[in-house]
Amino acid sequence: MIKARSLTKIYGTTTAIAGLTFDLEAGEVLGFLGPNGAGKTTTMRILTCYIQPTEGQAEVAGFDVATQSAEVRRRIGYLPEGVPLYHDMTVRAYLKFMAAAKGYGRALRNEYVQNAMEQTGITNVAGRLIGHLSKGYRQRVGLAQAILGDPKVLILDEPTIGLDPAQVHEIRELIKQMAHKRTVILSTHILPEVSMTCTRVIIINRGRIVAQGTPEKLTSELQSEGMTRVVAKGPINDMRVKLDALPGVTGVYVKSKPDGNVAEFEIKSRRGADVRSAVASAIVGSGWELLELHSEGMTLEEIFLKVIASEKEVQEYAA
């Protein structure tokens, strides 16, 4: 549905993005993750035909953003950063105007506006001035505008920024609903948002893609070592020695203070090695009691920080 090939945008001496290449299949929800100034907005502006790339091509729904921008724009719903709206218009008047601007005929307009308001739950404020609405409602109006006429692609730039936690939750739910039959790109620098709403993640930093994949794939790939937590009952020292000897295990640490015979272990293992079943059979096979066992993945937050930190190191090293 979306194809980007070595997209580059240079503003004077600053390179906003450098050689971004990625593909997005229909129905995927892509999370664009990166610190402020990483190039998320620039990429989105290129995909929505607001600006042109200095180099590289991008296609949306099979149309080139530079040469067939009218076709691309017809297929995109866009919510720019900061949810720009006309505060002196009522919700309904605004949506009607946007439907007209998107080129829908009079006959379709009312229906589209009604559908969009229902989907985003703003029918009850249809007659109010946008300037008088709360931020959460304005965000919904912005989303309603984006889904007018059911575009195939939704591009949302920081859709939850500046909302209170309850509103953030509502908007995420809305985005999830909208994602059912659409291809969505959303940018954010909030990590839980990505693991909650996205099927794919691209982490970008200083205009370059530093990691991409499903949230799970990123977690497993970037994890340098695995970690398994075990709570077991038995002679603590014996257990520790036995676990340490298992293949793939690089270290065993007694985490909490042993309470009688019960102890919690942190078992570190080599990257990619799954030691869970070996640990379980070692404990049970020796006649000890296994109370808890689970492996802990890196959170996206950790991955994000790690990726960005290692980038920094490389750059400092190079300099």
| Nearest to another protein of 178, 232 (CB atom) | 178
Is there binding between residue 287 and another protein (CB under 8 A)? Answer: no
**Residue 78 Cβ vs another protein, minimum distance, rounded to whole Å:** 5
Is there binding between residue 81 and another protein (CB under 8 A)? Answer: yes
β-strand partners of 100: none
**Residue 47 Cβ vs another protein, minimum distance, rounded to whole Å:** 10
β-strand partners of 184: 29, 154
| Nearest to another protein of 137, 288 (CB atom) | 137
Q: Which stretch binds another protein (CB under 8 A): 87-95, 119-127, 248-256, 309-317?
A: 87-95
52 torsion bin: left (phi>0), alpha (psi -120 to 50), beta (else):
beta
Is there binding between residue 11 and another protein (CB under 8 A)? Answer: yes
Is there binding between residue 103 and another protein (CB under 8 A)? Answer: yes
Is there binding between residue 110 and another protein (CB under 8 A)? Answer: no
- Token pair recorded at residue 102: 């998107």
Q: Which residues of 163-185 are buried (b: 16+ CB within 10 A; e: fewer)?
A: beeebbebbbebbeebbeebbbb
Burial of 139: CB neighbours in 10 Å, binned 0-12, 13-18, 19+ = buried
Is there binding between residue 205 and another protein (CB under 8 A)? Answer: no
Beta strands of 257-297 (E only): which ranges? 262-270, 289-296
**Residue 76 Cβ vs another protein, minimum distance, rounded to whole Å:** 7
Considering CB under 8 A, how many residues would be counted as binding another protein?
32
Site for another protein in 118-147 (CB under 8 A): 145
Q: Let me know: does 222 contact 234? Beta carbons within 8 Å.
A: no
| Nearest to another protein of 88, 221 (CB atom) | 88
Q: Let me know: does 29 contact 23? Beta carbons within 8 Å.
A: no
Among 77, 69, 90, 185, residue whose Cα is nearest residue 138: 90
Is there binding between residue 176 and another protein (CB under 8 A)? Answer: no
| Nearest to another protein of 72, 122 (CB atom) | 72
Site for another protein in 44-73 (CB under 8 A): 45, 48-52, 54, 69-70, 73
Looking at 25, 55, 101, 270, which residue binds another protein (CB under 8 A)?
101
Radius of gyration (C-alpha) of the chain in whole angstroms: 25
d(CA 170, CA 156): 15
Interface residues toward another protein, by CB under 8 A? 10-12, 45, 48-52, 54, 69-70, 73-74, 76, 78, 80-82, 84-89, 97-98, 100-103, 145
